[in-house]
Structure 1
Amino acid sequence: MINTRFAVAIHILSLVASTKEREKLTSDWIAASVNTNPVVIRRISGMLKKAGLLESQVGIPGSILTKLPSNITLLEVYKAVQPKEELFALHDKPNPECPVGKRIQSTLDDVFHSIQTEMESKLASQTLQDVLDHLFQ
């Protein structure tokens, strides 16, 4: 299931991309913009660093993008902060004696896989720059 990490990650990257004063980009400052706890910002920023999207240096406040916003796809961001599980979860152990129950999982597997593939394709075609262009138009 998608949680708010994806939206918060895009928020963080948008702030980093659009804020000229790197020293402002503390987890407290970003947390105030997101309206969340700085611990949440540090956790998600850590995921973005591990994915190679953000870079920071010890003793220097703030982070920088590792590539241009036009080269960061929303799919990269999504994969950086979402669990590796599928987007949709199936319920366990439907009744195999039921005509629907015995085939529902394989049917939904196909449907859900198709939807996830389409979503990932759309995310791959959108960049952080697209988000920034929309934010500041």
Structure 2
Amino acid sequence: MHISNKCSIAVHCLIFINEYGEENKVTSELLSLSTGCNPVTIRNIISAMKKDGIIDVKFGTGGATLAVPMQDISLYRICEAVDPKAIDKMISVHSSPSPFCPVGRNIGDVLDRTYDTLKENLISSMKSITMEKIVNDYHTILEHDK
């Protein structure tokens, strides 16, 4: 299991915007340099977060800023904004079990029960983790680097 790369890139961008957005114009090119991702990928992620109301982007000159406080941005909200199918991709049943085998014929129904519980627990955990906590973790790691 892994969280979508789009989600981790979005978290990276939000930390960067939080840390540098007050003094600097944060553009997709600047975020591209920090993340190591193509600027088009960054623009798509920024666009998704803007559409969700997580960030604001100035028209014309550009520059991303936070639209809501960090404590109001959960990891789940970020992932839903940038990759709405992330949870389903993370926890899913294989697509081609044999309909001629009793196990293959029923594995979807069997695993759906367990996987629904897993998804609910994962979503609950992701909702409890905010960008405020992630930024605090970032600052703690920065302090240890000194």
Q: Is TM (by shorter chain) over 0.5? A: yes
TM-score of the aligned structures, taking structure 1 as reference length: 0.90
2:65 alignment counterpart: 64
Shift in Å at residue 115 of structure 1?
Answer: 1.2
Alpha carbons of structure 1 residues 93 and 29: separation in structure 2 relative to 1, 3 Å: closer
Shift in Å at residue 59 of structure 1?
Answer: 2.3
Coordinate RMSD, CA, aligned = 1.7
Tell me whether 1:96 sits opposite 2:99 in the alignment: yes
Tell me whether 1:83 sits opposite 2:84 in the alignment: yes
Shift in Å at residue 60 of structure 1?
Answer: 3.2
Alpha carbons of structure 1 residues 21 and 61: separation in structure 2 relative to 1, 3 Å: farther
Alpha-carbon distance in 2 for matches of 1:21, 1:39: 24
Shift in Å at residue 28 of structure 1?
Answer: 1.1
User: Percent identity between the aligned chains?
Assistant: 29
Alpha-carbon distance in 2 for matches of 1:102, 1:59: 56
Give unpaired runs (5+ residues) of structure 1: none
Alignment of 1:6-85 (within 5 A): 6-19=7-20, 20-23=22-25, 25-84=26-85
Instruction: Give per-residue Cα distances to partners, 1:72-94, cap 9 Å, x unaligned.
Output: 11111011011337233323342
SS at match of 1:55: strand
Shift in Å at residue 33 of structure 1?
Answer: 0.6
SS at match of 1:89: coil
TM-score of the aligned structures, taking structure 2 as reference length: 0.85
Point out the structure with the larger helix share: 2
Alpha-carbon distance in 1 for matches of 2:123, 2:132: 17
Alpha-carbon distance in 2 for matches of 1:75, 1:92: 25
